[in-house]
Amino acid sequence: MAAVGAVPSGAGLDPVSAPNRRHRSGLQRTRTRTSLLLTLPGLAVVVALLIVPIGEAVYYSMTNWDGLTAQWIGPSTYLTLFQNPTFWRVLENNGLLLLSVPVAMIVPLCIAAMLHEHVWGWKVFRSVIFLPTAVSWVVIGMVAARVFAPGGAVNGVLGAVGLRSLQIDFLGHEYSALGAVAATFVWSMVGTNTIIFLTGMSTIDPAIYEAGRIDGASRLTAFLRITIPLLKRYFQFSFVITMITAFTALFSLIFVMTGGGPGYGTTTLEFFLYQQAFDIGQFGTGALIGVVLFVILFGVSLAQMRLLRGEH
């Protein structure tokens, strides 16, 4: 996802350099036909089921669509949404969740640094730490709901370390519920990001560290001055993945863990969209929120591509 702008170049086969022009153009035509034949299935699926629907979403976002009939209203629907205080309440939740993205990257960075040193048992640990990636958000949410419940593990730990005054029903209050969702999100992102950083670290030439050691750099200095700058691409990749997950993959976690509540406490844009369309039947508003979500993600992805381009 990092380098969407990487257009194929130079790798294609040149047309056969036959002296006969007619023959050559004939072959060219076969090539074009073959290429279309090979790309057609993928193109058809993507156009019919992704590109056309996003166009429809833009159109229907300006109507009062209920799934059966739609009357044109116009771009003013966007103004109506932006004047709706609930929309801003929901967007605030998305913003607060974004604050956990750095945590979801720094923790795995430290873990990857330790694993890279090949501490005892690192292979087993690597398998274990990636495990949440294989488990569905439904299952994660179901366990997390118990962990944060009044008699759950978090309150148990708080009691054991003498912080009984902090014991609460985490999912029963707006901000603590959002915190619980964020903590669960961070927990399940640790695996993916650890693997990304480990991969990045394995591409760094050990000779660079050797040179640093000769120059008298401590391990910490080497980590800060060598590892971190060389991992830049991997930070960007991990940032995009983590951010997209925070915006678009938490629906099932929230559905199972809190149902969006209490109040609007854990309702994010994607959950709001589902509620508007499938609970209330306002398909037009749902499509509208979908377009807003798409624009936000597209903007951030473009910005990070620009960043990546700027360096080369």
Partner 1 sequence: MCYPFIFMIVNSLRSENQFLNGQGFSLASWGALFRALPVVTELLNSTLVCSAAIAIILVCSSAAGFAFAKLRFRRQAFLFLAVIGSMMVPVQSIIIPEYVNLANLHLVNNYLGPIMVYAALGTPFATFLMTAFFRGLPDELIEAGLCDGMSPVGAFWRVALPMAKPALATVAVLQFIQIWDDFLVGLLFLQEPTNRTITVGLGVLSSGRVISIPILMAGSLVSAVPAIVVYLTFQRYLVSGLTLGASR
Look-up: residue for tokens 């994660």? 140
Among 3, 208, 224, 307, binds partner 1 (CB under 8 A): 3
Among 23, 26, 34, 88, binds partner 1 (CB under 8 A): 34
Using rule CB under 8 A, residue 1 touches partner 1: yes
Helix axes 174-202, 100-116, angle to 10 degrees: 40
- Contacts to partner 1 from residues 116-145, by CB under 8 A: 127-140, 142-144
Say how far apart CA 142 and CA 102 lie, in whole Å: 25
Using rule CB under 8 A, residue 47 touches partner 1: yes
- Amino acid identity at 118: H
Among 19, 41, 162, 216, binds partner 1 (CB under 8 A): 41
Among 109, 178, 201, 291, binds partner 1 (CB under 8 A): 291
Helices (H), 203-279: 206-214, 219-222, 228-230, 232-248, 251-257, 269-274
Among 18, 36, 99, 110, binds partner 1 (CB under 8 A): 36
Question: Interface with partner 1 by CB under 8 A: which range of 91-99, 101-109, 218-226, 250-258?
Answer: 250-258
Say how far apart CA 208 and CA 245 lie, in whole Å: 34
Say how far apart CA 177 and CA 96 lie, in whole Å: 12
- Judged by beta carbon, residue 177 or residue 190, the one nearer partner 1 is 190
Residue 135 and residue 190 in contact, taking contact as beta carbons nearer than 8 Å: no
Most distant CA atoms of the chain, gap in Å: 88
Query: At 161, is the secondary structure helix, strand, or coil?
Result: coil
Among 42, 74, 85, 162, binds partner 1 (CB under 8 A): 42
Print the binding letters for residues 204-243 with partner 1: x by CB under 8 A, - otherwise: -----------------------------xx--xx-----
Query: At 72, is the secondary structure helix, strand, or coil?
Result: strand
- Judged by beta carbon, residue 105 or residue 287, the one nearer partner 1 is 287
Six token digits for residue 58: 């833009």
Using rule CB under 8 A, residue 18 touches partner 1: no
Question: Interface with partner 1 by CB under 8 A: which range of 10-18, 72-80, 95-103, 160-168?
Answer: 10-18
Say how far apart CA 76 and CA 90 lie, in whole Å: 20
Q: How many residues would you count in the chain?
A: 312
CB of 125 to partner 1, least distance (A): 9
- Contacts to partner 1 from residues 267-286, by CB under 8 A: 269-270, 273-274, 277-278, 283, 286
